[in-house]
Amino acid sequence: MTTEDYVARIEETCGAEKDFIVIFRYDKKEEVIKKILQKAKKEKAISTIIFELTFQNTSFRLYGTGKAIFRNLKDKNELQKVLSDLLL
Amino acid sequence: MFDPHKIREDFPILKRKINNHPLVYLDNAATSQKPRQVIEAIKNFYENRNANVHRAVHTLSQEASELYEKAHEEVADFINADGIEEIVFVRGTTEAINLVAYSWGLRNLKKGDEVIVSLMEHHSNIVPWEILSKINGFSIKYVGLNDEGGLDYEAYEELITKKTKIACFSHVSNFSGIINDVKRIAKIAHDHGALTLIDGAQSVPHLPTDVRDLDVDFLAFSGHKMLGPTGIGVLYGKRDILENMEPFQGGGEMIREVLFDSITQRCTITWNNLPWKFEAGTPNICDGVGLMEAVKYLRAIGMENVQAHEHVLTEYAMKRMLECRNVEIYGPKDASLKCGIIPFNVEGFSSHDVALFLDNYGIMIRSGFHCTQPLHTIFKLKSSARVSFYIYNTREEVDKFMEALMEIEQI
């Protein structure tokens, strides 16, 4: 398995924030959410809509729709590493 | 009588559910949804009328040509242009502005000349002029904004000189929705011997537009923001100006004759009549027909009704948003000064977080720079969220949006 098996698209956000939005594959959505919630530290949650998480000093928000927004990452390579550690 | 609930029945996509919630589409400034009349017109064209235009004597080509020309007529009437000669079909607003920049600007702007652009422009009305200025060496002057985010007309009057050749402004800001006084802009430009190019991408779909009353020289707008298909847009230009301009692109359709001279071993070319002189190659015939249907749809509703409906929704949404402690709205708070666009942020959340949260509830809004990065710099914003309304949006949808927004506030 690779991260591509779980990730449908990665988009760099439009704006000065330079965050990354990761859209997970629809058919893997539940599996992805479960995996991430097992590995990342939950800071806050609002039912199953939104989870505020941290993992390896990276803060991100995971949405029940199977999308996540990662902040303050240097570049896409760093994001790929975090995703790899979270999902594989 | 204008009834958005009845109008919604014409839009198949609005029956969709997203994330188990009925779709609430509030990203109309980016693109609009399409009524079945437009969808059917496109389907019908390919099923029954498809042929190349102006090229053949056969029946199908004649029918396609007639439809394509009628599409130009319908658009001309819609904005009160003086005939189809003033209506050039292009891919969209961006291409229309680039057409003016390269066809008119390349030959008429030189070192020492000035182009005036406002800081509220979409990138599509900034970048072509910046690119061209590096080729031709003219200077660009940027008009700033007043405290409300509106155009600083006094600054514009101070900046414009006899060296100014063209003033390029949006009619309606795609960030704040503020409506600029285009008649005033055009008069100031003309008093100084300059032309005006107006970006009508956010105005033509939402306001009654009369190019003769506004007295603009060029008006650019997109079909897809006014119920039409993507890939079709319009450049309106005053006939005498277009007559004197060289073509934008060369190829078939835009020529009358290409005569080979065996002595000089060169071709002598004469251009086709307006507007075809500016429509090189096989045009986007089908989407032109789709645009015609969109225009017919809007005219049947009445643009005054479109404007009035959006005003009611904008006023209601802003009133409710301003009641939220952590929501900040940018631009004018008086709905009568603007079209149905509301930019905002929620304290503690990036605009993308807000958009992703609303997406959970099937509510589609925009986040980011909206192609207005200079404006975001002025407002000291990293990005912004934006809701934008159209004819099929309802008060109930505003309530759903507000419910979700208030939920974010409580996080």
- Which of B356, B359, B377, B382 is the best substitution to test chain A (most A C-beta atoms within 10 A)? B356
CATH number at residue B129: 3.40.640.10
Positions in chain A whose pLDDT score sits under 70:
none
- Which of B344, B360, B409 is the best substitution to test chain A (most A C-beta atoms within 10 A)? B360
Instruction: Please judge whether A13 and B19 are an interchain contact, meaning their C-beta atoms are less than 8 angstroms apart.
Output: no
pLDDT, tens only, A34-52: 999 999 999 988 877 889 9
Determine, yes or no, domain membership for B33. no
Spatial separation of the C-alpha atoms in residues B9 and B297, rounded to whole Å: 13
Positions in chain B whose pLDDT score sits under 50:
none
Q: Are residues B120 and B21 in the same domain?
A: no
Domain edge (last residue) among B253, B283, B299 = B299
Spatial separation of the C-alpha atoms in residues B31 and B64, rounded to whole Å: 27
Residue B371 among the catalytic residues: yes
Total domains in chain B come to: 2
How high is the pLDDT of residue B114? 98
Instruction: Give me B316's structure tokens.
Output: 């209601």
Pairing state of beta strands B164-170 and B114-118? parallel
**B359 and chain A in contact, CB less than 8 A:** yes
pTM of the model: 0.95
**A19 and chain B in contact, CB less than 8 A:** yes
Determine, yes or no, domain membership for B34. no
Instruction: Give me B341's structure tokens.
Output: 């666009």
How high is the pLDDT of residue B147? 83
Which residues of chain B are within 8 Å of residue A15 when distances are taken between CB atoms? Answer: 350-352, 367-369, 376, 382-383
Spatial separation of the C-alpha atoms in residues B346 and B30, rounded to whole Å: 21
How high is the pLDDT of residue B55? 79
Instruction: Please judge whether A17 and B369 are an interchain contact, meaning their C-beta atoms are less than 8 angstroms apart.
Output: no
Spatial separation of the C-alpha atoms in residues B143 and B243, rounded to whole Å: 30
CA distance A81 to chain B (A): 22
How high is the pLDDT of residue B148? 82
Q: Are residues B293 and B310 in the same domain?
A: no
CA distance B400 to chain A (A): 16
How high is the pLDDT of residue B1? 85
Name the packing angle between helices B351-359 and B395-409 (round to 10°): 120
Give the ipTM of the model, two decimals please.
0.89
Q: Per the omega criterion (within 30 degrees of 0), is the bond before B22 cis?
A: no
Structural domain harbouring B95: 39-299
Cβ atoms of B296 and B56 within 8 Å: the answer is no
How high is the pLDDT of residue B409? 83
**A69 and chain B in contact, CB less than 8 A:** yes
Helix (H, G, I), strand (E, B) or coil at B356: helix
Instruction: Give me A19's structure tokens.
Output: 């965050």
CATH number at residue B370: 3.90.1150.10
Q: Which residue blocks in chain A are alpha helix, DSSP H?
A: 29-39, 76-87
pLDDT, tens only, B128-167: 999 999 999 999 999 999 988 899 999 999 999 999 999 9
Search chain B and give the residue with CA nearest A43.
B411
Q: Are residues B293 and B191 in the same domain?
A: yes
Instruction: Please judge whether B352 and A21 are an interchain contact, meaning their C-beta atoms are less than 8 angstroms apart.
Output: yes
How high is the pLDDT of residue A47? 75
Spatial separation of the C-alpha atoms in residues B70 and A38, rounded to whole Å: 62
Please identify among residues 32-51 of chain A the ones whose CB lies closer than 8 Å to any CB of chain B.
44, 46, 49-50
The set of residues, in sequence order, having a beta carbon less than 8 Å from that of B170 and lying 6+ positions away, is: B118, B120, B121, B122, B125, B180, B198, B199, B200, B201, B202, B203
Q: Are residues B212 and B328 in the same domain?
A: no
CB-closest option in A14, A21, A64 to B383: A14
CA distance A24 to chain B (A): 13
